Chains A and B, each alone.
Chain A
Amino acid sequence: MRRVAVIGVGVTPFGKHDRSSGELFAEAAAEALADADLSPGAVQALYYGNVVGGEAERQLHMGPQAASILGIPWVPTTRFETACATSHAAFRHAVMEVASGVSDVVLVGGAERVLNLPTDEATEYFAYASDATFEQPAGLTFPGVFALIARALMAKDGTTEEQMAHVAVKNHRHGALNPKAQFRKEITLEEVLASPKIADPLKLYDCCPFTDGGAAVVVVTEELARRSRRPVWVLASAAASDSMCLHDKKDLTRALATERAAQSAYRQAGLASEDVDVVELHDCFTIAEILATEGLGFFEPGAGGIAAEKGWTTLGGKLPVNPSGGLKAKGHPIGATGAAQIAEIVTQLRGEAGLRQVEGARVGLVHTLGGNTATVLVSLFGLE
């Protein structure tokens, strides 16, 4: 297999946009191509991610739609959907296409537009990523999925609502330093704990927002990367799954797909969790960040909440997690999220993250989770 690198990244501002998801992707893709110093004509394939466009925009067949808006209607396209892990799954397949020698330049990313919808309608469409036979008919929502996990974890190892609140406070503090974040406002522990309940024990500030936005990255061969000014190498890209229904999972308090994907990624890269300097991980809900820091091997089971409380995961801490502000503060346009997380880690490893820079970061990890913890992607990036 050939070595693969990322040489260009682009992200739209996250928040409310009055443009279609295809237009948002095109803006991000234009930024990524300019960053890579490549013309659109150099792109040999587009791997595109979008989740609820069929419902929210009445648009299927989104690959050619995105390519057409971008102005490269002739490239082969494939649309990916693995719930919130969508564009990270697309990235893994783009890496495989370049590594295998099929293409030299693949554009990958995604976009989502949902803020034009009422909250209850968007809540319904997001719930389609849970099981349609048991979970949706019972009225389960996505905050509900993670609330069930949170309560099980609280009962098992003493994780507290206050520890979860620390994750929100930290990610808002980071997001305030990110010019493209949806929320650039610090919040206090008291505000999180006093915010309205969404799905007990999760409160408003435990939950990421609905977001419009797009993100794109350019994946190329080693030969092209050597000619680029500041390539970031893909050291590993791994995927794992777990049972779809919550009631089929053997243990609600373990993120088995995260554990499996992480082990596979560390093995591919010949690295261990201790080698990671900076992390972008899937904090769709504060409990998800706590669970992920344990599943990725950074902290022992049960210690993820303590790590949040002690500030180990803050900028300047022993392992900065979500310097971008994470899904919580940067925002979560679900089809774009994986590519946006990758863009942040590439920016960090290049040393171009400005006020939110993790000094001296040489190895970065991206973790993206889809649906009710049933899909997980983990990729590792490095400067060598």
Chain B
Amino acid sequence: MITLQTFFEEARAGRLTGIRCQRCAELAIPPKEFCPSCHQRAWELVPLAGHGTISSFTVIRVPPRGRAPEAPYAVAVVRLAEGVSLLGRIVDIPVDELRIGLPVKFRPLVNEDQTVVGFGPA
């Protein structure tokens, strides 16, 4: 089974991993113990290609402590081609070009020991 640690270790290497319920075919972002749809515990790992489109986005202009040098920056919910959503930071796309439906591609953002989900131009 995939843990948060292994999900982000894989993500750091550029590989996104989803989980699919072998009973009801629900696709989810880990970690999940039981399938929230059918309550079975029969996940299989599914590689996610990282291609998707923006389903919503915002530009953060008043950031939390320590992030002032990064602001303004955009965060988006991205609908991946496989049919599951993933939240991440937008990189290398000017904020005034962002729109719902814009194609984007996953890329890991590595900051010392932390890996963050990022999305850049498709």
Q: Which residues of A contact B (CB under 8 A)?
A: 118-121, 123-124, 127, 133-141, 143-144, 147-149, 151-152, 155, 196-202, 243, 245-248, 252
| A138 / chain B contacts, CB cutoff of 8 Å | 75, 87-89, 116-117
Nearest neighbor of B98 in chain A, beta-carbon distance: A200
Nearest neighbor of A145 in chain B, beta-carbon distance: B58
1/0 contact string of B43-81 vs chain A (CB within 8 Å): 000000000000111111111111110100101110000
1/0 contact string of B75-110 vs chain A (CB within 8 Å): 111000000111111000001000010000000000
Report the bound CA distance from A109 to B18 in whole Å.
42
Interface on chain B toward A: helix, strand, loop, or mixed SS?
A: strand
Nearest neighbor of A148 in chain B, beta-carbon distance: B56
| B70 / chain A contacts, CB cutoff of 8 Å | 139
Report the bound CA distance from A68 to B87 in whole Å.
43
| B84 / chain A contacts, CB cutoff of 8 Å | 247
5 sample A-B contacts, Cβ–Cβ < 8 Å, listed by A number:
A141-B62, A144-B58, A151-B100, A200-B95, A247-B29
With A133-B4, A248-B29 given, is the CB distance from A199 to B86 under 8 Å? Answer: no
| B68 / chain A contacts, CB cutoff of 8 Å | 120
Contact A247 B57 (CB under 8 A): no
| B114 / chain A contacts, CB cutoff of 8 Å | 137
Contact B75 A197 (CB under 8 A): no
Nearest neighbor of A203 in chain B, beta-carbon distance: B61
Report the bound CA distance from A65 to B95 in whole Å.
47
| A200 / chain B contacts, CB cutoff of 8 Å | 58-59, 61, 95
Q: Say how far B49's CB is from chain A's closest CB, in angstroms.
A: 17
Report the bound CA distance from A144 to B89 in whole Å.
12
